[in-house]
Structure 1
Amino acid sequence: MYDEEVRRVARAAMRAGESLNSISLRLGISRAALRSWRDQPDRAGVDDCPRCHGAALPGAAYAHLLGLYLGDGCLSLGKKSVYALRIACDDKYPRLIDEVVESVQAVHPRRPVHRARAVGYTSVVSCWKHWPCLFPQHGPGPKHLRPIELEDWQREIVASGIEPFVRGLFHSDGCRVANWATRPVAGEIRRYEYVRYMFSNESADIMALCQWALDQLGIPWRMPRRNALSVAKRDGVARLELIVGAKT
């Protein structure tokens, strides 16, 4: 695979009128590749990877997709070193499925995004050789059995898009629930209801990322269980109502 700088030099040479044979000999590029770049310029960068070529990623869409990937996503290797990114989505929430598709398309707009339907859920699928470049957390086995850490460039993107990241986390492994409690009022025991948000994940590292993101937003949380995080204080819930909201 030729990098973008080589393509840029080759295209400039072709525009200047240099022969394909001369460019091939000078740059070590096959004439077939040069003809493809000349005759199908719209496909010249079809496999360009922002990480490989130093291009910017769409921050909010990537932060959202990263949160989704850490929760319900995986990469699987197929033929010709092409990876399939799969985000599993509950069929009860069609709007969330549409939002996942939009984020995948924003991050990698050059390839189609598919919806693979199964019993009770839909997998949003996109195939690309470079998904591991964007999700270096990929590895063998379940996520909770291996270290999950953000690289510096990922943490920088997420830090500037904390809300989409939190939205992705809670849309994958979170829920919004109505709880109730009782308390004495004027000598009577009265029942009242309140909303709280829960996030559950078996990976201590992913849980720590959720805690870090909520801390950045100033949202208080507590851990009722080892693998469950709760946001129940009024101000924190109000903030998550704006960022996450009810699943639909």
Structure 2
Amino acid sequence: MNFHGTEVRQKALTLLRDGVANAEVARTFSIPPGTISYWKHLHRAKRGECPGKHDPKCPRCDGRHLDTAAFSYLLGLYLGDGHISHCSQHRVPNLMVTCDESWPGLMDACEQAMRRVFPDNAVCRVRKTGCRNVKVYSKHLHCLFPQHGPGKKHERSIALAPWQQVIVDDHPWEFIRGLIHSDGCRITNWTTRLVAGERKRYEYPRYFFTNVSDDIRKLFTDTLDKLGIDWTHCTRHGNPYNISVARKASVALMDTHVGPKH
């Protein structure tokens, strides 16, 4: 929204071109200095007077190299605990992945993946109660994450673009790791068995993935199928939102490539 009008803006730009200081122009028109600086920056950018200040290139729009392994992991994180927002305070949308402070290693892995996928963009962490939001700002987030849209993920269709599917097929374990790190866990289950007439406790490791979206759960299980991982639905309270991996050989593979959160 233009609060100051085009005529005021043009008069301010004329003074700036004549060498009048930003602060003096701001006082003349009773406009915040930050607004004056922003007008000056946009004007200089349009005239090509901002050497070295270029928008980072996009793998989809400009053919920039994309670290596909890091992207596959980040895609899994995004489908679980990530979202793209464009608030009024910022002119560029941001990708935000919420990470529990109980898992600092996961937070580090998330930030590293963002830096590898967006090597020319700033990545930051924003502290919240019990968690931190790992964020990156980029004008090309919608190019890399076309799943973004209005409403909650489980209320709309979620499907991978063909080029994304190629990346996931090339780096399936990174995709699974991202999904587990966002909406999954590795736990120790227990049961009892009769051994020589005596009931004894028996413990075994198990992976769970929980997501309300049918589409996202299918992306997870389809990738497990391609990796030869045995899985089952685990309905709880009538809700089929849980995918379980409990067979010994499959858990061993998951431990090799995913492992517990840390």
Q: What TM-score results when the alignment is normalised by the length of structure 2?
A: 0.78
Q: Within the alignment, does 1:60 sit opposite 2:74 as a pair?
A: no
Q: Corresponding residue for 1:202? A: 212
Task: Give the distance between the partners of 2:241 and 2:60, measured in 1 at CA.
Answer: 32
Percent identity over the alignment is 45
**Where does structure 1 lack aligned partners over 5 or more consecutive residues?**
1-29
- For residue 187 of structure 1, report the CA deviation from its aligned partner: 1.7
70, 83, 103: which one aligns with 1:74: 83
Q: Within the alignment, does 1:236 sit opposite 2:245 as a pair?
A: no
29, 32, 35: which one aligns with 2:47: 32
Q: Corresponding residue for 1:136? A: 146
- For residue 31 of structure 1, report the CA deviation from its aligned partner: 7.6
Q: Within the alignment, does 1:246 sit opposite 2:246 as a pair?
A: no
Larger radius of gyration: 2
Q: Within the alignment, does 1:223 sit opposite 2:233 as a pair?
A: yes
Q: Within the alignment, does 1:183 sit opposite 2:183 as a pair?
A: no
Q: Corresponding residue for 1:119? A: 129
Task: Give the distance between the partners of 1:104 and 1:119, measured in 2 at CA.
Answer: 22
Q: Deviations over 1:26-55 (max 9, x none)?
A: xxxx8832x54xx42xx44x3311111233
Q: Deviations over 1:173-200 (max 9, x none)?
A: 0011111011111121111100000000
Task: Give the distance between the partners of 2:46 and 2:192, measured in 1 at CA.
Answer: 77
Please state whether the residue corresponding to 2:157 is helix, strand or coil.
coil
| 1:152 aligned partner, one-letter code | P
Q: Deviations over 1:112-153 (max 9, x none)?
A: 111000001100011111101100000011100000000000
Q: How does 1:95-174 map to 2 (within 5 A)?
A: 95-174=105-184
Q: Corresponding residue for 1:5? A: none
| 1:64 aligned partner, one-letter code | Y
Task: Give the distance between the partners of 2:185 and 2:119, measured in 1 at CA.
Answer: 30
Q: Within the alignment, does 1:86 sit opposite 2:100 as a pair?
A: no
Task: Give the distance between the partners of 1:169 and 1:154, measured in 2 at CA.
Answer: 15
Contact 2:77 2:181 in 1 (8 A): yes
RCO comparison, higher one (Cα < 8 Å, 6+): 1
- For residue 92 of structure 1, report the CA deviation from its aligned partner: 0.2
Task: Give the distance between the partners of 2:197 and 2:163, measured in 1 at CA.
Answer: 57
- For residue 82 of structure 1, report the CA deviation from its aligned partner: 1.3
Q: Corresponding residue for 1:211? A: 221
* Greater helix content: 1
Aligned-residue RMSD, C-alpha: 1.4
Does the C-alpha gap of structure 1 residues 52 and 95 become closer, same or farther in structure 2, counting only changes over 3 Å? same
- Equivalent pairs, count: 213
Stretches (4+) displaced over 4 A: none
Q: Which moved more, 1:61-70 or 1:126-135?
A: 126-135
Please state whether the residue corresponding to 1:246 is helix, strand or coil.
coil
Contact 2:57 2:64 in 1 (8 A): no
Q: Deviations over 1:55-101 (max 9, x none)?
A: 34211100000000000000001357511100000000001100000
**Where does structure 2 lack aligned partners over 5 or more consecutive residues?**
1-44
Task: Give the distance between the partners of 1:126 and 1:83, measured in 2 at CA.
Answer: 9
Task: Give the distance between the partners of 1:188 and 1:108, measured in 2 at CA.
Answer: 58
